[in-house]
Amino acid sequence: LSESTWNPDELHQARLELMRRGSATAPSADAVLVIDETGDRKYGTHTAHVGRQYLGSLGKVDSGIVSVHVLYDTPQAYFPLQLRPYTPAHHFPRKTNDPAFRTKPQLAVELIEAVRHDWPYRAVVADCLYGRNELFVTSLLTSAIPFVLSLPSSYAWWHEQGQPGGVEDLALRA
């Protein structure tokens, strides 16, 4: 595959066009954009994007490759629209201060922007990695994108006295 003469961008666009035309995969106003990442174990030093990082498939930190995805979830089908590899900070000369470095939530914002005008959806959904990230939430709010985001049970926020100040407070009131 790495030696093929295929243009990956053209192939990706052809795949999306096939998805658009499929009866089970056609665009739907009932769809949601799912943001998630996946990681696979990978050792070695010659492969781009490899580093010690949390790999959800293993449930622990190990050497591997992680990619962030925007998936299209309709009542009939679930499939990827776009993905970007996450590159750990140690690959950049200035680490997290390098202008080219992107966090997973920053990659997710870029992915949403890349697809949000081409595929109808009713909301963006994501787990607590994104739900507790201020940049990600602010981006959705600023763009008036509806969302449902997970929060860890320990998540808390500023609140008026007597009002719930965290997820646990809300759960106790339910």
In a domain, 123, yes or no: yes
0.75 cut: is pTM over it?
yes
In a domain, 72, yes or no: yes
In a domain, 2, yes or no: no
Per-residue pLDDT band for 43 (boundaries 50, 70, 90) equals: confident
Per-residue pLDDT band for 64 (boundaries 50, 70, 90) equals: very high
Statement: residue 160 has pLDDT above 90: no
In a domain, 1, yes or no: no
Burial class of residue 79 in the structure, from the number of CB atoms within 10 Å of its CB (0-12 exposed, 13-18 middle, 19+ buried): middle
In a domain, 48, yes or no: yes
- 25: Cα separation from own chain's centroid: 20
- Residue 137 CA to residue 146 CA, distance in Å, equals 10
What is the signed CA dihedral for 7, 8, 14, 17, rounded to 10 degrees? -150
- 6: Cα separation from own chain's centroid: 26
**Tokens read off for 93:** 């000369």
Domains contained in the chain, number: 1
In a domain, 3, yes or no: no
Q: Which comes out higher in pLDDT, residue 171 or 21? A: 21
**Average pLDDT of every residue of the chain:** 93
Please tell me the least confidently modeled range out of 48-62, 63-77, 93-107, 159-173: 159-173
pLDDT mean over 17-29: 95
Owning domain of residue 14: 8-173
Statement: residue 25 has pLDDT above 80: yes
In a domain, 144, yes or no: yes
For residue 83, list its beta bridge partners. Answer: 69
